[in-house]
């Protein structure tokens, strides 16, 4: 079984990215044939600064490797290093109905806000379909709000297969990520870059503590008992603490006499310790830029080899000749 997932390099990873997605799909590398790509072509729809995109892409690779992605088990590559994906995108575009793309959430959101989406955003789902179909992907881990992407991919693949009378494209299946892993941000809303309420995974110590101390809490007096389950600080603490540590802090909440500052300090200490090994791994990879590039290029070669196999199958179905090497 082949699992495929991509991450857009649009900024540093935050706790919501990690616990809501990255941690879960990196775990799949131990059980499945895993392809992970950094979606730099997709990022061009929002990042229009070349130097910034290069930095974001490099940071994404460093962060993934630091957080446990093992290049000896999984294939990690830049999307743009596999040119077959854009050729497949064009072949898929020729059978994709505009009405299908007009139903996609990102496009509809732009329209509803009175904005003028560009062609990149409009055809974004077809590039996403090409990403998935190029590798005969079996499983695509997604959040519940991203299932439409897989449905669109399956629709496009089925239409292509029906048009050309064969099973040329393999239909993927969505694996929905743990819905419980919705992480609150500094303001209590879902942690998201768009809400400006994130805590980065690799935040430096002082900024990390400052952010944690700014987490929104209620005005319950220090001496009064508090409900841990209604507190965003405790919700975040549970991500890092053992069952015993959670029980101990919950008891402190309920007995009263504890201010939220104490809970925030415990959260800071737990979070800093949790990512200690990852920070060390990241520093080691950052000091070896040649090795980092080798990982990405090696991954691209493996991905391209599989992609060429699928693309030749699709080209033949369309009546196109073999690709020039």
Kindly report each contact of residues 183-187 with a partner whose C-beta sits within 8 Å and lies 24 or more positions away, as own/partner. 183/15, 183/16, 183/19, 183/20, 183/236, 183/239, 184/232, 184/235, 184/236, 185/16, 186/211, 186/214, 186/215, 186/216, 187/216
Which position has the token pair 């493996």?
302
Q: State yes or no: 161 annotated in a binding site.
A: no
Q: What is the pLDDT of residue 179?
A: 62
110 is known as an active-site residue: yes
The structure's pTM equals 0.93
> Cα 323 to chain center, whole Å?
32
pLDDT of residue 45: 92
Residue 144 known to bind ligand: yes
Element (H, E) at 176: strand 173-176
DSSP 8-state code for residue 165: T
pLDDT at 31 (0 to 100)? 81
Domains and CATH numbers, the chain: 2-182+289-318 (3.40.50.620), 203-274 (1.10.240.10)
- Is 191 labelled as part of a ligand binding site? yes
Q: How many CA atoms lie within 13 A of 202 on its CB side?
A: 18
> In sequence order, what are the residues at sequence separation of 6 or more whose Cβ sits closer than 8 angstroms to the Cβ of residue 142?
149, 150, 174, 175, 176, 177
Q: Other C-beta atoms within 10 Å of 225: how many?
A: 12
Chunked mean pLDDT (size 10), the chain, 325 residues = 95 94 91 94 96 98 98 98 98 97 88 84 96 98 91 98 98 86 90 94 98 97 96 98 98 97 98 98 98 99 98 97 79
316 carries an active-site annotation = no
SS3 at position 102: helix
Structure tokens at 156: 């496009």
- Check the annotation: does 9 bind a ligand: yes
| Annotated catalytic residue 193 | yes
User: Of the residues 190, 216, 238, 316, which is catalytic?
Assistant: 190
State the pLDDT at residue 181.
Answer: 63
Q: Which two tokens stand for residue 14?
A: 């935050």
């Amino acid at each position: 079984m082949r699992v495929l997932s991509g991450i857009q390099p649009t900024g540093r990873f935050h706790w919501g990215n990690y616990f809501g997605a990255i941690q879960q799909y990196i775990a799949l590398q131990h059980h499945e044939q895993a392809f992970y790509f950094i979606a730099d072509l997709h990022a061009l729809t929002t990042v229009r600064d070349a130097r910034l995109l290069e930095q974001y892409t490099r940071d994404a690779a460093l962060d993934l490797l630091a957080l446990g992605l093992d290049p000896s088990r999984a294939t990690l590559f830049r999307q743009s290093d596999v040119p077959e994906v854009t050729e497949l995108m064009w072949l898929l575009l020729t059978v994709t109905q505009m009405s299908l793309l007009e139903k996609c959430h990102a496009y509809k959101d732009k329209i509803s806000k009175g904005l003028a989406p560009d062609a990149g955003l409009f055809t974004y789902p077809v590039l996403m379909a090409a990403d998935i179909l190029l590798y005969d992907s079996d499983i695509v881990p997604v959040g519940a709000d991203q299932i439409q992407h897989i449905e669109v991919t399956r629709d496009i693949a089925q239409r292509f297969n029906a048009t050309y009378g064969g099973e040329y494209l393999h239909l993927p299946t969505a694996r929905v990520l743990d819905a419980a892993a919705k992480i609150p941000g500094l303001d209590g809303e879902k942690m998201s870059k768009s809400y400006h309420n994130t805590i980065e995974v690799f935040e430096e110590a002082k900024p990390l503590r400052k952010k944690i101390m700014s987490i929104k809490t209620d005005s319950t007096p220090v001496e009064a008992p508090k409900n841990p389950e209604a507190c965003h600080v405790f919700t975040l603490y549970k991500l890092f603490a053992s069952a015993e540590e959670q029980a101990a802090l919950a008891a402190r909440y309920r007995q009263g006499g504890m201010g939220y500052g104490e809970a925030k300090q415990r959260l800071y200490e737990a979070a800093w310790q949790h990512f200690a090994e990852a920070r060390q791994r990241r520093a080691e990879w950052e000091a070896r830029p040649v090795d980092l590039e080798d990982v990405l290029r090696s991954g691209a070669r493996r991905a391209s080899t599989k992609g060429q196999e699928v693309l030749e199958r699709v080209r033949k179905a369309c009546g196109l000749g073999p690709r020039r090497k």
